[in-house]
Structure 1
Amino acid sequence: MKVLLYFEGEKILAKSGIGRALDHQKRALSEVGIEYTLDADCKDYDILHINTYGINSHSMVNKAKKMGKKVIYHAHSTEEDFRNSFIGSNQLSPLVKKYLVSLYSKADFLITPTPYSKELLVGYGITVPIASISNGIDLNRFKRSEEKETKFMKYFKIKENQKVIICVGLYFERKGIIDFVELARKFPDYRFIWFGHTPMYSIPKAIRTIVKDDHPSNVEFPGYIKGDIIEGAYSAADLFFFPSYEETEGIVILEALASKQQVLVRDIPVYKGWLEDKVNCYMGQTNEEFAHLLESLVEGEIPDTCQQGYNVAKEKSIGHIGHELKDVYEKVLGTKII
Structure 2
Amino acid sequence: MRVLNYLELESELQRSGIGTAARHQRKALADTGLQVVTSPWNGGRLGTAAVKRAVGDRLFESYDLAHCNLVGPGTVAVARHARRNDIPLVLHAHTTHQDFAESFRGSTTVAPAFGTYLKWFYSQADLVLCPSEHTKSVLDSYPIDAPVRPITNGVDIASLEGFESFREDYRERYDLDGTVVFSVGNVFERKGLTTFCRLAETTDYEFAWFGPYDTGLLASSAVRKWVQNPPENATFTGWVPDIRGAFGAGDIYLFATKSETQGIAALEAMACGKPVVIRDLSIFEQFYTDGVDCLKCDDLAEFREAIDRLSSDPELRDRLGENARETAREHSLERVAEELTDAYETARRLANGGSAADVGDTEVITD
Residue identity over aligned pairs, in percent, reads 32
1:241 to 230, 233, 254: 254
Change in CA separation of 1:262 and 1:121 when aligned onto 2, cut-off 3 Å: same
* 2:79 maps to 1:66: no
What is the deviation of 1:150? Answer: 3.2
AA aligned opposite 1:179: T
1:204 aligns with 2:220: yes
Which structure has the bigger radius of gyration? 2
Which residue number corresponds to residue 321 of structure 1?
336
Q: Which amino acid aligns with 1:292?
A: E
Matched, 1:124 2:142: yes
- String of CA shifts for 1:149-183, please: whole Å, max 9, x gaps: 23323322444xx1111101322221110010010
1:171/1:203 contact within 8 Å kept: no
Change (3 A) 1:257 1:146: closer
**Amino acid corresponding to residue 262 of structure 2 in structure 1:** E
Secondary structure of the residue that 1:76 maps to in structure 2?
coil
Contact 2:89 2:126 in 1 (8 A): yes
CA distance in 2, matches of 1:272, 1:235: 27
Shift of 1:296: 1.1
Distance in 2 (alpha carbons) for counterparts of 1:221 and 1:146: 21
**Is 1:268 the equivalent of 2:298?**
no
Tell me the distance in 2 between the aligned counterparts of 1:155 and 1:204. Answer: 28
1:15: which partner in 2? 15
1:219-259 deviation digits (Å, cap 9, x = unpaired): 011112142xx313314422001101100001101110111
Other-structure match for 1:46: 64
> Which residues of structure 1 form unaligned runs of 5+?
none
| Structure 2 CA distance for partners of 1:264 and 1:118, relative to 1, 3 Å | same
Equivalent in the alignment of 2:4: 4
Q: 1:71, 1:107 within 8 Å by CA — same for their partners in 2?
A: yes
Give the direction of change, closer, same or farther, for the CA distance of 1:281–1:184 in structure 2 (3 Å limit). Answer: same
> Structure 2 counterpart of 1:202, which letter?
L
Aligned pair 1:169/2:185, yes or no? yes
User: Given the alignment, which residue of 90, 102, 106 partners 2:108?
Assistant: 90
Deviation at 1:301, TM superposition (A): 6.6
Q: Whole-Å Cα distance in 1 between the matches of residues 163 and 221 of structure 2?
A: 39
Q: Distance in 1 between matches of 2:162 and 2:311?
A: 19
Whole-Å separation in 2 of the counterparts to 1:261 and 1:29: 28
With over 3 angstroms needed to count, the CA separation of the structure-2 counterparts of 1:318 and 1:172, relative to structure 1, is same
- Tell me, yes or no, if the aligned pair for 1:235 and 1:256 is still in contact at 8 Å: no
User: What corresponds to 1:110 in structure 2?
Assistant: 128
Q: Distance in 2 between matches of 1:291 and 1:146?
A: 26
The secondary structure found in structure 1 opposite 2:183 is strand
Q: Does 1:285 align with 2:288?
A: no
Aligned equivalents of 2:129, 2:309: Cα separation in 1: 38
Change in 2 beyond 3 A, CA 1:34/1:220: same
Hey, what's the Cα distance between the residues in 2 that align with 1:235 and 1:307?
16
Q: Report the Cα distance in structure 1 between the residues aligned to 2:228 and 2:253, rounded to whole angstroms.
A: 22
Q: Deviations over 1:38-79 (max 9, x none)?
A: 122253211110001111111111112112211100000001
Question: Post-superposition shift, 1:291?
Answer: 0.5
Structure 2 CA distance for partners of 1:13 and 1:145, relative to 1, 3 Å: closer
* Partner-residue secondary structure (3-state), 2:187: coil
Q: Is the 2:165–2:248 contact (alpha carbons within 8 Å) kept by the matching residues of 1? A: no
Answer yes or no: is the 8 Å Cα contact 1:61–1:71 preserved in 2. Answer: yes
Segments of structure 2 that go 5 or more residues without pairing to the other structure are 43-60, 360-367
Instruction: Determine which of 181, 188, 192 is the counterpart of 2:207.
Output: 192
Distance 1:246 1:285 in 2: 13
| Distance in structure 1 (CA, Å) of the matches to 2:143 and 2:164 | 50
Greater Cα offset, 259-268 or 145-154: 145-154
What is the Cα deviation at residue 102 of structure 1?
A: 0.8
Give the residue type in structure 2 aligned to 1:272.
E
Within 1, Cα distance between the matches of 2:62 and 2:136? 31
| Cα distance in 1 between the residues matched to 2:226 and 2:274 | 27
* Cα distance, 1:302 vs structure 2: 6.8
Tell me which amino acid in the other structure corresponds to 2:261.
T
Cα deviation, 1:183-237, whole Å, max 9, x if unaligned, reads 001123x210011223222122233011101x2211011112142xx31331442
The one-letter code matched in structure 2 to 1:28 is A
Residue number in structure 1 paired with 2:270:
257
- TM-score normalised to the size of structure 2? 0.86
Which residue in 1 is equivalent to 2:167?
Answer: 149
Q: Is the 8 A contact 1:235 1:261 kept in 2?
A: no
SS at match of 1:12: helix
Per-residue CA deviation, residues 128-153 of structure 1 (Å, 9 max, x unaligned), is 11111111111112235442223323
Q: Give the root-mean-square deviation of aligned CA atoms.
A: 1.8
Asked if 1:75 is matched to 2:90, the reply is no
Deviates more, 1:328-337 or 1:41-50: 328-337
In structure 2, the CA distance between the partners of 1:39 and 1:90, relative to structure 1 (3 Å rule), is: closer
Aligned partner letter, 1:136: G
CA distance in 1, matches of 2:18, 2:197: 25
| Structure-1-length-normalised TM-score | 0.94
